Structure 1
Amino acid sequence: MIGGGGGAFIANPHQKAIHFDGTRRVTSVALHPNPEIAMNEANQWPYPVKGYTSYDEMFADQANLPEDEKLDYVLIVTPNFVHFDPAMKALELGIPVLCEKPLTTNLELADQLVAKAKEKNVPFAVAHTYLGHWTSWFMRHVVTSGLLGEVRWVDSYYIQGWLADKLEDAGQMQAEWRTDPKKAGGSGCGGDIGTHAMMQLRFVTGLEIDRVSARLEKFVPGRPIDDHFTVYGELSNGGKCLVRASQVCIGHLNDLGIMVAGTKGAMKWRQEEPEKVTILLQGQPDRTYWRGAVAANDGFLGDVPDWLLGEPTIPAGHGEGFHDAFARLHREFEKTVRAYKAGEAWECDGSRYANIDDGRKGLAFIDACLKSDEADGAWQPVS
């Protein structure tokens, strides 16, 4: 694990998720840029791990270790501006990477990582957590099965309220770096949570956003980058979409959701009720499906694949949640990494977790949105 010290919340759910299945564990940590803090926190880890004063020291030590003690993959949970360097150094050593989103702070750096991952042929995942919900996989099946017909319209959103006040001036660590363009990148709200809404749309529908007309707004006085993000988009099949995010809507916590409207019906889902998917077909009663309660040969859904039905780890009525979504990403990436380490055929095709190309798409989307906003909302292609 690289990063995660100093009270960063994201390290905790990742650590829990890593241990869900008993087949992987954290062995080495470089937790903080301050060497003293890094080692103190390593020594306070819940079980023995090898602590390092920096990720450079961690990587240098790989040459001194026997093969069965070398890192299988690295997890990068640093702020955005410290994603690129450790990821690039891991790829140079042939070490697979699971990196928190966004992939980097800008498209140019993302392109360099993509090129290196392909040159070295090394697995690389991006931690778009919410793709790990079973219901995200289920919705992807519903859309690609044709049940809703041709997708006409998608509304994908992520609404928060925690930055309605200027917390960055009060010493709140998470707010400080997320509102600093040197650390977060050119977009604050869009890069932080707008990319989640965008990735949910791409994953569920299998469609790309080809063009955007965007508005990036700052509601809190003195904030240098956006805290409110609204994007109208054109989909690769000719449909339209709205990708919206806000961090100034008081009362909203982590309100990620999606509504897909097709020529035959519609479907809706909210992350704060992650086990529930509602499907609506014209002239028929609404149907609500719950994780774990979907039948193999549902007359309405058609044949649901056995692999999808067998994926939940607990029976229906016992709720999965945020940690389960993280665990599903690590579980699937572990399968890829084990195949890679064994010299077997492997793939990161984006069907179970976001890969490095998906991560690049997130940066290309943000890049196009920034250009559109600068041009007063003019349409911009997503490259």
Structure 2
Amino acid sequence: MAKRPLNVGLIGGGGGAFIVQPHQRAIHFDGTRRVTVAALHPDAKIAQSEAEQWDYPIKGYDSYDEMIEQESAKPVGERIDYALIVTPNHVHFDPAIKCVRAGIPVFCEKPLTINLDEAKQLVAAVKENNVPFAVSHTYLGHWTSRFSRFIVTSGLLGDVRWVDSYYLQGWLAERTEDSGNAQAEWRVDPKKSGASLCGGDIGTHALMQLRYVTGLNVQRVQAHLETYVKGRMLDDHFTSYVELSNGGKGMVRASQIAIGHKNDLGIEVNGTKGTLSWRQEFPEEVKIQLPGQPDRTYFRGAVSANDGFLGDLPEDLMAEPNVPAGHPEAFHDAFARLHRCFEQDVRLYNDGKPFDCDGNLYANIDDGYTGMAFIEAAVKSSQDGNVWVDM
């Protein structure tokens, strides 16, 4: 028999928030999940009004406190199966920890919290209550990110020597926050964004891409946070030199004042046997360069095992693409893959069975904590004169 669709509750997402739209599309992508309830805004009247005007019928709650209290009192099958938190950064911690303590799994936008102390508390709550928890690092959902991870962690490039992981945008090159752009307004406010604007907003994505693709962790950070737009209290340009857990080195860098760049997340991994490169704006391709050989480009959906570089390929990895090569997967597909994988663990949790949340298929609570530890170390390094700071 067909499985019951999981019920998902939105926390945040009102007021024209961009990020809720790809999430809610991804939730409905497979027909096995659906948004049923929402607390869309901190103002109860606005929350109810926006729920009434939603694109499809949902139950609106006055607040996330009301939603968590009422939904957690319902039996499995009637309650929400997980909550999706798409609020500004300063409203991640409170609803997340309340959901976790109520036994409700959480899919939370990044960064995890606005400081390391909150992250520590949230990690402890997740471990204590043994609840599935995902952090929305979207770009891990691209099949080519998973393929890149397989290549690097299988040793096909040899030992990792150097990694350049970056995320470049240009939308904050001027004072966008003065033009009524709500997305810019909260991001430049340290009370709502945290200690770093550029690093927290997109630098954490670059860090996660490095850690996921290489399977390595960052041990030490030497960072330089800069503010180019006059009057801003937080960085809009972020550069860090990092030491990796295998002794290799790398850069995690980000900019939101790089005019002409739109959503340019990319990574290059230099190993002792070859180089891998990948860019989010060309998400169907993984490029490999080997000494003395023509460059190779692998396309999602058109990868063959035992081709002279690749050996055998994992069956589960090869089974993931659901459209043929040349029919591009993209941003929404990446979101959907993350929700699809999280769904598997939520269903196991509902059935009282062990679940993984091991970071192989989506970013977990420990990845979220690492992102906050990285930002704290980078800010300290920059403030102290670009000294090395241990993670």
| TM-score over 0.5 for the pair | yes
Deviation at 1:145, TM superposition (A): 1.1
**Which string of whole-angstrom CA distances, capped at 9 and with x for unpartnered residues, describes residues 118-162 of structure 1?**
000111000000000000000000001111000000000000000
Conserved? CA contact 2:72–2:103, under 8 Å: no
Which blocks of at least 5 consecutive residues in structure 2 are unaligned? 1-9
What SS does the corresponding residue of 1:297 show, helix, strand or coil? coil
Picking from 231, 239, 247, the partner of 2:240 is 231
Aligned CA RMSD, in angstroms, stands at 0.8
Match of 2:179 in 1: 170
1:311-326 equivalence runs, <5 A: 311-326=320-335
Match of 1:381 in 2: 390
Match of 2:46 in 1: 37
> Are residues 1:207 and 2:200 paired?
no
Q: Distance in 2 between matches of 1:323 and 1:367?
A: 31
TM-score (norm 2): 0.97
1:110-149 equivalence runs, <5 A: 110-149=119-158
- 1:202–1:182: structure 2 CA closer, same or farther, 3 Å change rule? same
What SS does the corresponding residue of 1:337 show, helix, strand or coil? helix
1:201-280 equivalence runs, <5 A: 201-280=210-289
Match of 1:283 in 2: 292
Q: Distance in 1 between matches of 2:359 and 2:336?
A: 16
Match of 2:7 in 1: none
Deviation at 1:298, TM superposition (A): 3.0
Deviation at 1:296, TM superposition (A): 3.4
The residue identity in structure 1 corresponding to 2:154 is S
Which blocks of at least 5 consecutive residues in structure 1 are unaligned? none
Q: Distance in 2 between matches of 1:66 and 1:125?
A: 22
Deviation at 1:183, TM superposition (A): 0.2
Conserved? CA contact 1:296–1:309, under 8 Å: no
Conserved? CA contact 2:275–2:288, under 8 Å: yes
Match of 2:114 in 1: 105
What SS does the corresponding residue of 1:158 show, helix, strand or coil? strand
Q: Which moved more, 1:34-43 or 1:372-381?
A: 34-43
Q: Distance in 2 between matches of 1:99 and 1:310?
A: 27
Picking from 159, 168, 188, the partner of 1:150 is 159
Q: Distance in 2 between matches of 1:74 and 1:184?
A: 21
> Are residues 1:55 and 2:60 paired?
no
TM-score (norm 1): 0.99
- 1:63–1:190: structure 2 CA closer, same or farther, 3 Å change rule? closer
> Are residues 1:73 and 2:82 paired?
yes
What SS does the corresponding residue of 2:266 show, helix, strand or coil? strand
> Are residues 1:303 and 2:315 paired?
no
What SS does the corresponding residue of 1:41 show, helix, strand or coil? helix
Match of 2:373 in 1: 364
The residue identity in structure 2 corresponding to 1:67 is V
Deviation at 1:276, TM superposition (A): 0.4
**Which string of whole-angstrom CA distances, capped at 9 and with x for unpartnered residues, describes residues 296-324 of structure 1?**
33332111111111100111110000000
Picking from 25, 28, 46, the partner of 2:55 is 46
**Which string of whole-angstrom CA distances, capped at 9 and with x for unpartnered residues, describes residues 46-82 of structure 1?**
2211110110110121255343211110000000000
The residue identity in structure 2 corresponding to 1:96 is P
Conserved? CA contact 1:296–1:306, under 8 Å: no
Match of 1:190 in 2: 199
What SS does the corresponding residue of 1:27 show, helix, strand or coil? strand
Q: Which moved more, 1:149-158 or 1:291-300?
A: 291-300
What SS does the corresponding residue of 1:230 show, helix, strand or coil? strand
Q: Distance in 1 between matches of 2:68 and 2:251?
A: 42
The residue identity in structure 1 corresponding to 2:99 is A
Conserved? CA contact 1:296–1:305, under 8 Å: no
Q: Distance in 1 between matches of 2:117 and 2:75?
A: 36
* Count, aligned residues: 382
Q: Distance in 1 between matches of 2:45 and 2:354?
A: 42
The residue identity in structure 1 corresponding to 2:89 is N
The residue identity in structure 2 corresponding to 1:277 is V
What SS does the corresponding residue of 2:302 show, helix, strand or coil? coil
Deviation at 1:295, TM superposition (A): 1.2
Conserved? CA contact 2:72–2:104, under 8 Å: no
What SS does the corresponding residue of 1:32 show, helix, strand or coil? coil
- 1:140–1:48: structure 2 CA closer, same or farther, 3 Å change rule? same
Conserved? CA contact 2:162–2:269, under 8 Å: yes
The residue identity in structure 1 corresponding to 2:164 is D
The residue identity in structure 2 corresponding to 1:182 is K
